[in-house]
A and B are shown apart, each in its own frame.
Chain A
């Protein structure tokens, strides 16, 4: 059986890959994919800590992960709708070219 630190390291790695993508990619859809990766890394942490907890019968981490997946689905739907509207308005989905509110 893999110790808890293995799962935590995989989760940290996924989070940082998502962070790097969200910070560097120009396309707004790629930024959203990076955010999805970070959310999934957090979910993996919830499940891992639940499995390795003292009394997993209470199922707290499991419930939190289920609700977190639902929130992430809602976030993805609204985010992609926003990106499609931005594309229609500015004719581009690159975040560095949408600068109408730049001071």
Chain B
């Protein structure tokens, strides 16, 4: 376990805990940006440069801006001292149980100690060629899905004119 991995992993996990536990939701969104950036760092460490930069573009850029906008649009004027959680102990117990199960499985598995092969030669060029040949059908389905999701999001969030409350 080397030092850069330990630093990035600690930063990622710590900011994830902050993103899920802080009271002020804007602070949560900012911690989430740090988590996404840390994950991009982990991808870069794993020689997945394209996915790392996609992570920065999509998550650090787009999704976090979307979340901040949603927080601002739904900011309520309710009193600040109301609880932010419901039945916290049950949820935390379920999560801890899930983590212990997964950690036991990972530590018991012989795959876990496997060391990486020498870094593979993966350029964006070969990735693009794969996307246009072997993966062209998933790519087209994805384009259709993104178009449908965009139209759906606009229609769902559109104000209906006749029902003015």
Q: A residues bordering B, Cβ < 8 Å?
A: 1-10, 12-21, 23-27, 29-30, 32-34, 36-37, 40, 43-44, 47-48, 50-54, 56-57, 59, 62-63, 65-67, 69-78, 80-85, 87-89, 91-93, 96
Q: Binary interface profile of B, 63-107, with partner A (CB < 8 Å = 1, else 0)?
A: 100110111011010100001111110111011101100110011
Given known contacts A17-B20, A19-B98, A44-B42, A81 and B146 CB-to-CB distance under 8 angstroms? no
Q: B residues bordering A, Cβ < 8 Å?
A: 1-2, 5, 9, 12-13, 16-17, 19-21, 25, 28-29, 32, 35-36, 39, 42-43, 45-48, 50-51, 54-55, 58-59, 62-63, 66-67, 69-71, 73-74, 76, 78, 83-88, 90-92, 94-96, 98-99, 102-103, 106-107, 109, 111-117, 120-122, 126-127, 130-131, 135, 138, 142, 145-146, 149-150, 152-154, 156-157, 159, 165
**Of all chain B residues, which has the CB nearest A82?**
B156
B74 & A59 in contact (Cβ 8 Å cutoff):
no
B88 & A24 in contact (Cβ 8 Å cutoff):
yes
Cβ of A16 to closest chain B Cβ, rounded Å: 4
Given known contacts A10-B13, A20-B91, A80-B67, A70 and B28 CB-to-CB distance under 8 angstroms? no
B111 & A4 in contact (Cβ 8 Å cutoff):
yes
B20 & A96 in contact (Cβ 8 Å cutoff):
no
Interface of A is mostly: helix
Cβ of A53 to closest chain B Cβ, rounded Å: 8
The CA of A2 and the CA of B6, in the complex, are separated in Å by 9
Most buried by A among B58, B83, B109, B156: B156
Q: Write out the residue numbers on chain B whose beta carbons fall within 8 Å of the beta carbon of A12.
A: 99, 102-103, 106
Which of A17, A65, A72 is within 8 Å of B16, CB to CB?
A17
Q: Write out the residue numbers on chain A whose beta carbons fall within 8 Å of the beta carbon of B102.
A: 8, 12, 15-16
Q: Write out the residue numbers on chain B whose beta carbons fall within 8 Å of the beta carbon of A71.
A: 142, 145
Q: Write out the residue numbers on chain A whose beta carbons fall within 8 Å of the beta carbon of B71.
A: 29
Given known contacts A33-B32, A62-B48, A66-B50, A27 and B84 CB-to-CB distance under 8 angstroms? yes
B126 & A59 in contact (Cβ 8 Å cutoff):
yes
The CA of A30 and the CA of B153, in the complex, are separated in Å by 19
Cβ of A59 to closest chain B Cβ, rounded Å: 6
**Of all chain A residues, which has the CB nearest B32?**
A33
A29 & B74 in contact (Cβ 8 Å cutoff):
yes
